[in-house]
Structure 1
């Protein structure tokens, strides 16, 4: 996994990870030899055992919910069962495989379709659910 988000993004003061640990499960993290959709061996279920020594990628990552004030509480990854980030023009949605249809439900489906239709600067939306990949139209 390379860049996960716009690293210049600033977290919103009122938003914290809380009990969410989806970033410890959903993405692959080469530096930790962690495949996608597998729990990181350092995840305690409430945090990270190696937090002070975690890889730079983990230090730099902020999901879109933490940085985009337009995403309301429904988009909190712990509630939505999705982790969203930007990679240039690509909006990437990683869906918790325990909730594979989460991205198809309201309010998420309509917003994802809206982002795909906007296509600002060539923007597009890709959804990963386990091994399945979908492009939102």
Structure 2
């Protein structure tokens, strides 16, 4: 399982807004797979400087794990990934529902799941209304 670290300097959000669209965010009454009212698609958060701590504290695995190769950039992989204790959570863009099943993603997700299993961890993938445990 990847280690969580501070954000990597050369990895920025860029034009990615998956964390503003894919998860449900109770603080904003935002359902999953709907763009946050504070997000400008392709640009980012319009309240970035004053965003709430739940947004400020979010650690995208792409931004914190420098072992992930370029194809894991969320703008390429169409997935946002983060750790929750022993669990790795994957939110796959429902506009690209099969991408997490393709290579190189599937084998990496299976590898993370195998490493996490002895300690009770796993990988869980959410894609639209579907949930898959690896």
Give the alignment's TM-score, normalised by structure 2: 0.92
Q: Does 1:74 align with 2:36?
A: no
SS of the residue 2:90 aligns to: strand
C-alpha RMSD of the superposition = 1.4
Q: Which runs of 5+ in 1 are unaligned?
A: 1-5
Q: Does 1:23 align with 2:24?
A: no
Return the offset for 1:27.
0.7
SS of the residue 1:41 aligns to: coil
Question: Could you tell me how far apart the structure 2 residues matched to 1:50 and 1:17 are?
Answer: 15
Return the offset for 1:122.
2.1
- The number of equivalent residue pairs is 130
Name 1:130's counterpart in structure 2: 128
Question: Could you tell me how far apart the structure 2 residues matched to 1:53 and 1:114 are?
Answer: 38
Q: Which runs of 5+ in 2 are unaligned?
A: none
Return the offset for 1:116.
1.0
Name 1:3's counterpart in structure 2: none
4+ residue runs of structure 1 moved beyond 4 angstroms?
none
Q: Deviations over 1:68-91 (max 9, x none)?
A: 011111000011000000000110
